[in-house]
Amino acid sequence: MNTNAEILKKVNLCERIELNSNTTSKAILLPLITLFLIGTSSLVFLYSKMGVGTVFLLAASLFVIGMILYTRRILKKTARAYIKGDTLVVNFTYGNTPKVMNLKSVRSVKTRTMIGYTYTQLNFKMDGVSYNVVLFGKPQTRESAENIIGIAKQLAA
């Protein structure tokens, strides 16, 4: 799917248009593993300089608690999404139930590309609650998620 005409055709035929790939959870693990390795190497350095003491135990416990909270936060905000007709379906990676909504409820979409992966921030309001979701993965199309949602919203209006 390379052109706007093909996107319009898929929206008209109510075919599924993926906004990000199935590799979402694998793609998220790389930055988390990198952060964990940096923190672990810092703790090893601190241990080699000071030994086991109050400072080391405090730093180690804060690091472990911080990693758990940060990982939980990232997993709760990440999701997979697709468009089918004038409907957007968001499946969260962890915790929340899937959300099905009309494209008109999407407030803003921002897409960035880095190292072959797309990072899309999707803001929408549903049932009076505002959601801020991150779609992360390899792009499924040449068009960004921002353009696809914009085209589908224009067609749905």
What CATH number should be reported for the domain holding residue 149? 2.30.29.30
The total number of structural domains in the chain stands at 2
Q: Do 78 and 134 form a contact (C-beta atoms < 8 A)? A: yes
Domain identity same for 46 and 101: no
Domain that holds residue 138: 4-23+78-156
Domain identity same for 84 and 128: yes
Query: Over the stretch 32-81, which tens digit does the pLDDT of each residue have?
Result: 778 788 878 877 777 777 777 777 777 778 888 888 888 788 777 888 88
Residue entry with tokens 């400072």: 55
Check pLDDT > 60 for residue 2.
no
CA dist., res. 93 & res. 85, Å (int): 23
Report the range of poorest mean pLDDT among 23-32, 75-84, 108-117, 138-147: 23-32
CA dist., res. 75 & res. 24, Å (int): 10
Helices (H), the chain: 4-12, 24-50, 54-77, 145-156
Angle, vertex CA 54, rays to CA 48 and CA 60, nearest 5: 65
Domain identity same for 50 and 90: no
Both tokens of 130, joined, read 């505002």
